[in-house]
């Protein structure tokens, strides 16, 4: 068995590989993407016969890099960043954080305490499809909310009668009327906003 810590970042990942006694076997900084994944396979391939002999600790459970590691058959454990920080503090007097240092901490954690962390498993195609659908649904709702807030703000300034007429600006009725009568002149009569008295 070999134990690997991956300090994940958007642009690159620091990797620390150790054996069962904690002896360093390899270290490196890998780029995000297919090139980084290929280099990772090379690093661990020099020290393991089968993918399930590789135990990896990483602070995220999603993304291209994680998906590729799970698909390759490695044992992957998601470690809460707070756990990493506390583990680092237990074993270092300085408490200083560094990406290569955190990669080593993650390798140590899965070597000695992996039973306390959550294994990352690949999802079925149906589960992946549900995730994509749920994220798309969330994105559309957030987008609609932002647009409705912008519309409300604009109407408050230029067409306040529309705010009185409709409780829900995202309803079909509201959008239908606003498409036919998009201005105060074309819409229902309403008093102009009063200027504050000085």
Averaged pLDDT in 10-residue chunks for the chain of 198 residues: 90 92 93 87 88 90 83 87 74 60 87 84 69 72 83 86 84 85 64 50
Lookup: tokens for 67:
């998906």
Pair 53, 59: CB distance under 8 Å? no
Give the model's pLDDT for residue 6.
Answer: 92
* Segments in the chain forming alpha helices (H): 34-45, 64-71, 81-91, 99-112, 125-158, 160-165, 172-180
Per-residue model confidence (pLDDT) at position 43? 87
Given this model, what pLDDT does residue 83 score?
76
Given a contact cutoff of 8 angstroms between Cβ atoms, the answer to whether 1 and 29 are in contact is no
The domains of the chain, with CATH numbers, are 2-119 (3.30.420.40), 125-180 (no CATH)
State the pLDDT at residue 93. Answer: 56
Nearest to 17 by CA among 82, 100, 113, 73: 100
d(CA 131, CA 137): 10
């Amino acid at each position: 068995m070999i134990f690997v810590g991956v300090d994940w970042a958007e642009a690159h990942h620091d990797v620390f590989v150790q054996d069962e006694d904690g002896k360093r076997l390899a270290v490196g900084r890998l780029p995000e993407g297919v090139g980084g994944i290929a280099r990772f396979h090379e690093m661990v391939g020099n020290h393991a016969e089968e993918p399930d002999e590789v135990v990896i600790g990483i602070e995220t459970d999603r993304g291209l890099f994680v998906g590729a590691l799970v698909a390759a058959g490695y044992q992957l454990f998601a470690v809460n960043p707070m756990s990493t920080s506390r583990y680092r503090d237990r074993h270092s007097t300085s408490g200083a954080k560094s990406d290569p240092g955190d990669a080593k901490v993650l390798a140590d954690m899965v070597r000695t305490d992996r039973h306390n962390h959550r294994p990352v498993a690949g999802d079925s195609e149906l589960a992946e499809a549900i995730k994509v659908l749920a994220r798309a649904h969330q994105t559309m709702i957030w987008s609609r909310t932002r647009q409705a807030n912008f519309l409300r703000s604009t109407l408050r300034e230029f067409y306040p009668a529309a705010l009185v007429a409709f409780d829900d600006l995202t309803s079909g009725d509201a959008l239908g009327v606003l498409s036919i009568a998009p201005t105060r002149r074309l819409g229902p009569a309403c008093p102009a906003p009063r200027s504050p008295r000085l």
